Amino acid sequence: MRATLFLALVASATGVISGVTTDTSALLIKFDLRSYVGATLVPGKSAWLNYFVSDAGNNASLRELVVPWSESTVTWNNLPFASASWRPTNVPSGTTGTFPGVLGWNRFDVTSSVAAWLAAAPPPAFSYVFNGENSSYTGGCQSTWIRSDNPDYIGAQDTGLWWDGSSSTGHYDSVLVQFPDIIGSGPNQLRPHEYIQRATLRYNVDETFSANAPGASAQLHEISKEWSANSTTFRTFAGAQGLNEAEYRTPAITTALANRTGWFEIDVTASVQSWVNGVGNNGWIWMPSPQYLGGSGDGSSMRACNAPPNVRVNLV
């Protein structure tokens, strides 16, 4: 079932809160059904929303949300709480009348909502953006660049990260970027069972710190080993044998362009989905492209994590 059940129970109650005599509260419920990819409803069977009432009070109405939300960040204002955020459901009155019903267990038939999601486009996806901001859960972003002609250079504090197929005769530079802890069970992390609709990696070729930032392309590969930007050099990362498949996975994900200034966007859905499925997330490396793929001795530069690239992930 390629869908997530997005429902809101909109309830009104009267009370006194900070001098306000009428307070409207809303209960948002979301059932994660994304692991049922490709499922269908059994003919003649219904999908029920079951809920338990422990304190019967004012009536409420059931609405189907049309905007994404996260339980860790949603507020009245940022939902926003307005009619544009939901649509009426075709929920019949059921056996107990209108919401919330009587004390004890109640249920409503939500077959029409679930069937509509299966028959048409999926409901609004979650959308997460992981970037260089500090986060105790998602780890922010780490970045550096390594240089074969200066093998002990540490570039973790540099604003510009360079890849270059000919930084000096017989040498080259490569960029490393990682979003370390985007998989897990904490707020805003991707759960191990997630189905990734689309994930994009965005990076900025910015000439404000170097007029030479635009230039040749690179081949983007997944990194296959652990590393730390604060200590990684060409020597510690690649060793005497140089960069090869011991450090990155093949084939390349795609060609990373830098032929102009501004933001570039790369589809990295396959990478993120593989990490969700258990493959180690060590980030990506920009390897300077050979000439037949558009590379040359012209170096290219992108902004580092302190002026961040980001990964934008949509989930179904």
pLDDT tens, per residue, the chain with 316 residues? 233 334 443 433 333 323 333 466 777 877 666 555 556 778 888 888 887 777 776 666 677 887 777 777 788 888 887 778 877 665 544 433 456 667 888 777 878 777 777 666 555 455 666 764 444 555 678 899 999 999 999 999 888 899 988 766 778 899 999 998 888 887 778 888 778 888 888 888 888 877 888 888 999 999 999 999 999 999 999 988 888 899 999 999 999 999 998 888 889 999 999 999 999 999 999 998 754 333 444 568 777 775 557 666 655 4
What per-residue confidence (pLDDT) applies to 9? 39
Q: Which amino acid is at 4?
A: T
Give the tokens for residue 116: 């509509």
Query: Is 284 exposed, middle or buried, given 0-12, 13-18 or 19+ CB atoms closer than 10 A?
Result: buried
Vertex 9: Cα angle to 7 and 12 (nearest 5): 155
Match 């129970």 to its residue by tokens: 9
What per-residue confidence (pLDDT) applies to 93? 43
Domain locations along the chain: 4-123, 129-315
- Stated length of the chain: 316
Assign 65 to helix, strand or coil. Answer: strand
Give the tokens for residue 298: 């012209």
CATH architecture of the domain with range 129-315: Sandwich (2.60)
What per-residue confidence (pLDDT) applies to 36? 54
- Whether the Cβ atoms of residue 99 and residue 60 lie closer than 8 Å to each other: yes
CA distance 45 to 48: 10
What per-residue confidence (pLDDT) applies to 58? 66
Tell which residue, 222, 179, 195, has the closest CA to residue 311: 179
What per-residue confidence (pLDDT) applies to 115? 75
pTM for this one? 0.60
C-alpha distances in Å from residue 303, one per residue of 12, 86, 254, 256, 262: 49, 39, 19, 14, 10
Return the bridge partners of 66, or none: none
What per-residue confidence (pLDDT) applies to 296? 42
Vertex 53: Cα angle to 49 and 56 (nearest 5): 130
What per-residue confidence (pLDDT) applies to 60? 67
Assign 299 to helix, strand or coil. Answer: coil
Radius of gyration of the chain from its Cα atoms, rounded to whole angstroms: 25
**How many CA atoms lie within 13 Å of 64's alpha carbon, on the beta-carbon side?**
20
